[in-house]
Amino acid sequence: MNVRSQIAMVFHLDKCIGCHTCSIACKNVWTDRKGTEYMWWNNVETKPGTGFPTQWENQDKYNGGWVTFQEKLELRSTSKTKTVFNIFHNPHQPSMDDYYEPWTYDYQHLFNAPEGNDQPTAIPLSLVTGKPMETIEAGPNWDDDLGGSPVYAANDPNLKNLPEDQRDQLFAIERLVYFYFPRICNHCLNPSCVAACPSGALYKRGEDGIVLVDQQRCRAWRACVAACPYKKVFYNWFTGKSEKCILCFPRLETGQAPACFHSCVGRIRYLGVLLYDAERIEEVAKRPDIELIDAHRAMILDPHDPEVIAAARTNGISDGVIESAQKSPVYQFVKVWKLALPPHIEYRTLPMLFYVPPLSPVMARRDGDTVDHVSDNLFHDIDESRVPMQFLANLFGAGHEGKVRYALAKQKAVRLYRRAVTVGDITMAMAERALREADCTVDEAEEIYRLTSLCTFDDRFVIPPAQREQAIEMMKDPHEHRQGAGFGFLTGPRRGL
């Protein structure tokens, strides 16, 4: 057993209201510089939809992630040999057209325009060239709330194996249904971005598992951009370096939640430590699709198990971190309750961001009524849901419905139970039957209810203490960092000649 600690995350999709506050918080802190305008380390997509960059889930197009080939795990986009031949021109690199050309408006014109018969307008100006843009063809959330759904939502890669009638049902007027899908880097256990980097500039931090790009070492071979199946490494066209979500590590190290977590209006985000067995990464990533979720869960270790604690201590994991792992809300959602599922685990990067699949769009009934409780099959609405199960399974179950259905049924059972307690139009007997059928107990239902609905800031974010001596080590020579652009820099991040 090789125990490592990882700062992991859960997003509860039922609670996301699609306000994009998270995206703006991130943008204002990290990506408002030249060359990063088009980047959204955090973005919120409408599902069904094609997302950002367009159709990122279509790996036939982007070739991200890993595949198993003859018992071996291989990157889909590159290999050692291919890197040598493709280094001058990467055949799988997305270009700005796959994202969008960032722009601003000529606001000054509103003030300076000469007097005339018409109201002056502010024309869009490209943030790349500074020139006026004829048409704006795309933006970061272009298909928000199903905008342009015949073009966008209908081309969601997750609809690929849905029968015709289920597809039609998704888009029938007055029966439309969608949910939001906020995304950041998953800080994977088997990151394909790291494995693809020819320079070894990308790395995973041993202490907390955050995946970073060493800006001093990145040489713009840009293999990471193509290799990440979630398209969460971005190329800064101005500095000639790749950049990605840093999970706000300067905030985490000082005990604060990352900006997107902190600002989340729906309070959908949870963060905490998971202990896992690093020895099993390769073995787990090679499993067949249907076993991936279980194997991924199995490599997450029980932080209360004395053996695990002993092994963690041998690996230098401090008691503070172990204690934090024991209180981790992520551990509860992922391992104990099995409510949270990894996105597209079939890409085999072993993501460390998990999603509680959304129940509301599932339960919303066709005729617009509220929930129908009275039926012999308590979970009939899950099976007949308006968001087809296969669609959710393609997103969160590697194409298999079982784990998704389990998570939805348990959520519904908790709702029925709470309804029996607070409203009383359902008998407790029925609620208990629902809990039993959903593999839940009354105690567990109470806990789920509390951590979902009544959670405070401190319940949601259990941030491990940064190790004091490590923090000091980083500061060894404060003068070295004077006038720098952050740690590790002696000069500002100036573009090369």
What is the spatial distance between Cα 392 and Cα 426, in angstroms, rounded to a whole number?
A: 28
Q: Taking CB under 8 A as the rule, which mask of x and - marks residues 114-153 in contact with another protein?
A: --------------xxxx----------------------
Q: Taking CB under 6 A as the rule, which mask of x and - marks residues 305-344 in contact with ligand SF4?
A: ----------------------------------------
Nearest to 175 by CA among 206, 200, 146: 146
Q: Which residues contact 378 (CB under 8 A, 6 or more apart)?
A: 412, 413, 416, 430, 433, 434, 437
Minimum CB separation from another protein for residue 223, in Å?
9
User: CA dihedral in degrees (232, 209, 337, 396; nearest 10)?
Assistant: 20
Q: Which of 7, 18, 66, 142 binds ligand SF4 (CB under 6 A)?
A: 18
Token output for 289: 């699709």
What CA–CA distances, in Å, run from 40 to 244, 245, 260, 312? 9, 9, 12, 35
Q: Contact region for another protein (CB under 8 A) — 6-14, 171-179, 280-288, 393-401? A: 280-288
Minimum CB separation from ligand SF4 for residue 13, in Å?
9
Q: Which of 1, 19, 128, 430 binds ligand SF4 (CB under 6 A)?
A: 19
Q: Is 206 in the site for another protein (CB under 8 A)?
A: yes
Q: Contact region for another protein (CB under 8 A) — 11-19, 76-84, 302-310, 334-342? A: 76-84
The answer to whether 365 and 428 are in contact (CB under 8 A) is no
Among ligand HEM, ligand SF4, another protein, none, partner that 226 touches (CB below 5 to 8 angstroms by kind):
none
**Residue 466 DSSP SS3:** coil
Checking 403-408 for CB contacts under 8 A at 24+ apart, the result is 403/293, 403/338, 403/341, 404/341, 404/357, 406/338, 406/438, 406/439, 407/338, 407/339, 407/340, 407/341, 407/356, 407/357, 408/357, 408/359, 408/362, 408/379, 408/382
What CA–CA distances, in Å, run from 183 to 13, 128, 269, 313? 11, 25, 11, 33
Among ligand HEM, ligand SF4, another protein, none, partner that 80 touches (CB below 5 to 8 angstroms by kind):
another protein
What is the spatial distance between Cα 41 and Cα 286, in angstroms, rounded to a whole number?
A: 28
Minimum CB separation from ligand HEM for residue 88, in Å?
5
Q: Which of 92, 187, 403, 405 binds ligand SF4 (CB under 6 A)?
A: 187
Q: Which of 179, 221, 417, 461 binds another protein (CB under 8 A)?
A: 221
Q: Is 476 in the site for another protein (CB under 8 A)?
A: no
Q: Is 203 in the site for another protein (CB under 8 A)?
A: yes
What is the spatial distance between Cα 393 and Cα 141, in angstroms, rounded to a whole number?
A: 23
Minimum CB separation from ligand HEM for residue 59, in Å?
22
Q: By CB under 8 A, what part of segment 32-51 binds another protein?
A: none
Return the number of the residue (58 or 93) whose C-beta is nearest ligand HEM.
93
Residue 281, number of CB atoms within 10 A of its CB: 18
Q: Where are the alpha helices (DSSP H) in 265-401?
A: 281-285, 289-298, 306-314, 319-326, 329-331, 360-363, 380-383, 389-396
Among another protein, ligand HEM, ligand SF4, none, partner that 19 touches (CB below 5 to 8 angstroms by kind):
ligand SF4
- Residue 453, amino acid: S
Given the DSSP bridges, would you call strands 353-356 and 3-12 parallel, antiparallel or unpaired?
parallel
Q: Which of 14, 207, 346, 444 binds another protein (CB under 8 A)?
A: 207
Give strand ranges (E) for 59-147. Answer: 66-69, 72-75, 103-105, 124-126
Q: Which of 170, 246, 259, 264 binds ligand SF4 (CB under 6 A)?
A: 264
- Residue 443, amino acid: D
Q: By CB under 6 A, what part of segment 224-263 binds ligand SF4?
A: 228, 230, 232-233, 244
- Residue 283, amino acid: E
Q: Taking CB under 6 A as the rule, which mask of x and - marks residues 68-97 in contact with ligand HEM?
A: -------------------xx---------
Among ligand SF4, another protein, ligand HEM, none, partner that 93 touches (CB below 5 to 8 angstroms by kind):
another protein
Q: Is 496 in the site for another protein (CB under 8 A)?
A: yes
Q: What residues line the site for ligand HEM (CB under 6 A)? A: 87-88, 221
Q: What residues line the site for another protein (CB under 8 A)? A: 2, 73, 80, 83-84, 87-90, 93-97, 128-131, 189-191, 194-195, 197-200, 202-207, 215-222, 225, 235, 237-241, 278-282, 285, 316, 467, 470, 473-474, 489-491, 493-497
